[in-house]
Amino acid sequence: MFSFELTSEQQELRDSVRRFAEQEIWPKAIELDEKEEFSVELTQKMGDLGYFGLFVSDKYGGSGLDYISYILVVEELSRVDGSHAATVAAANSLGIGPIYYFGTDEQKEQWLPVLCSGQGLAGFGLTEPNAGSDAGGSKTNAKKVDGGWVINGSKIFITNSSNPMTKVIIVQAVTGERENGKKEYSCFLVPADAKGLTAKPIHGKLMWRASDTGELYFDDLFVPDSALLGNRGDGFRQMLSTLDRGRLSIAAMGVGGAQGAYELALKYAQERKQFGKPISKFQAIAFKLADMATEIEAARLLNFQACWRCQNGMSFGKEAAMAKLFASEVMRRVATEAVQVHGGYGLTKEYHVERFFRDQKLLEIGEGTSEIQRMVISRHIGC
């Protein structure tokens, strides 16, 4: 049965991540956001603390922990800064995960130790300029040649794809056509220094400005047969599985981000005085805070249930979509009200809450938009 209590180990992990985030990330968050600067230093520190490969066996350099422990790490980082939470979430769910779950022993031994150590990062190349929610619109292709494959095409909005720490990109490409006329997809492990790969960082983002997001271009890029992830034609299935797990981490970002915005609003409301008393004593503000706390707790428990099903080998696609949808929209409501509680101060960078307000929007778009989540859920319930 699902337990609502964290184990002592999980509580200790949560507390240690909270201390690190508050002491190491919080003081630098505004500056890194302002400069749009990906921090190699902080990412390596997170690697030293074991935040990468949390659910991976120690055989490959991971921590061998459960999925809820991983989600707690993402949640606590998000409570302080979405950018660094995004670096960890994408590196684990979208980078390490596909290799761990679908890779050969040789691929795992080659890539996982460096990725789990945090000395290298991996990205998942799925989205294209004309293929977002419609993954079937992908045009990046891989053609079979003697000894391997030649990849041509492009990807966009790929996290952890264009920074100095990127070591490998998992690339989904069209590798043929099935008997029913639909495209055949396969995934490949492309080294970041492969000839024919160009990576360009994307700047001018509204959110996650200290996270690395890039564009990728493949120009007659050759990879050997050993770079094929799993079996030919398994790419679409691998993508769906990866997105299901990725939605758990996005939900955790929603919960953690909402928690952070709520705590800022609560603290401000307790300190800010109007008409001779703290504004938290006014019913209009108190009820806002009560609603925030309630929705955050509901989102957290919904995601914990989905994670519990995942780590116990049960179906969790519906629950992951529900958790991601609800938590991302909870953060929108909480961050909006947190800015409102701050009044004019909430519109300034000095008070941090505007950063939570901006970072939230990605959660309703990444790993499948809110509209896509509703489609997934509706299919699961028989609509």
pLDDT in tens, 301-357: 999 999 999 999 999 999 999 999 999 999 999 999 999 999 999 999 999 999 999
- pLDDT value of residue 234: 96
Residues 244 and 372 in one domain: yes
Question: Is there a domain that residue 211 lies in?
Answer: yes
- pLDDT value of residue 1: 60
Neighbours of 380 (CB within 10 A): 14
- Two structure tokens written together for 64: 């061998």
Question: Is there a domain that residue 139 lies in?
Answer: yes
Residues 215 and 306 in one domain: no
Q: What CATH number does the domain containing 198 carry?
A: 2.40.110.10
Q: How many helices (H) and strands (E) does the chain have?
A: 12, 10
Task: Assess whether 367 carries a catalytic annotation.
Answer: yes
Question: Is there a domain that residue 2 lies in?
Answer: no
Q: Coil, strand, or helix at residue 302?
A: helix
Tally of structural domains, the chain: 3
- pLDDT value of residue 181: 82
- Tell me the per-residue pLDDT of 67-99, one tens digit each, with 9 for 90 and over: 999 999 999 999 999 999 999 999 999 999 999
137 in Cβ contact with 128 (< 8 Å)? yes
- pLDDT value of residue 187: 97
Q: Which domain holds residue 192?
A: 123-232
- pLDDT value of residue 4: 75
Residues 301 and 213 in one domain: no
Please tell me the distance from the alpha carbon of residue 161 to that of residue 152, in angstroms, as a whole number. Answer: 17
Element (H, E) at 35: helix 26-35
Distance between start and end Cα atoms, the chain: 29
Question: Is there a domain that residue 303 lies in?
Answer: yes
Q: Which residues contact 232 (CB under 8 A, 6 or more apart)?
A: 175, 184, 186
- Two structure tokens written together for 112: 């996982």
pTM: 0.95
- Which of 204, 232, 260 is the endpoint of a domain? 232
Q: Which of 31, 179, 367, 371 is catalytic?
A: 367
- Tell me the per-residue pLDDT of 343-381, one tens digit each, with 9 for 90 and over: 999 999 999 999 999 999 999 999 899 999 999 999 999
Q: What are phi and psi for residue 37, nearest 5 degrees?
A: -110, 120
- pLDDT value of residue 346: 97
Question: Is there a domain that residue 3 lies in?
Answer: no
Question: Is there a domain that residue 1 lies in?
Answer: no
Residues of the chain with pLDDT under 50: none
3 sits in the region (left: phi over 0; alpha: psi -120 to 50; else beta) called beta
In the chain the beta strands, taken as DSSP E runs, fall at: 121-125, 141-145, 148-159, 166-177, 183-191, 197-201, 213-224, 228-229, 273-274, 277-278
Residues 256 and 314 in one domain: yes
Residues 332 and 217 in one domain: no
Residues 249 and 343 in one domain: yes
- pLDDT value of residue 131: 86
- 134-164 residues labelled b (16+ CB within 10 A) or e (exposed): ebeebebbbeeeeebbbbbbbbbbbbbbbbe
- pLDDT value of residue 5: 87
Instruction: Name residue 151's beta-bridge partners.
Output: 142, 221
- pLDDT value of residue 2: 65
- pLDDT value of residue 135: 73
- Which of 176, 208, 232 is the endpoint of a domain? 232
343 sits in the region (left: phi over 0; alpha: psi -120 to 50; else beta) called left
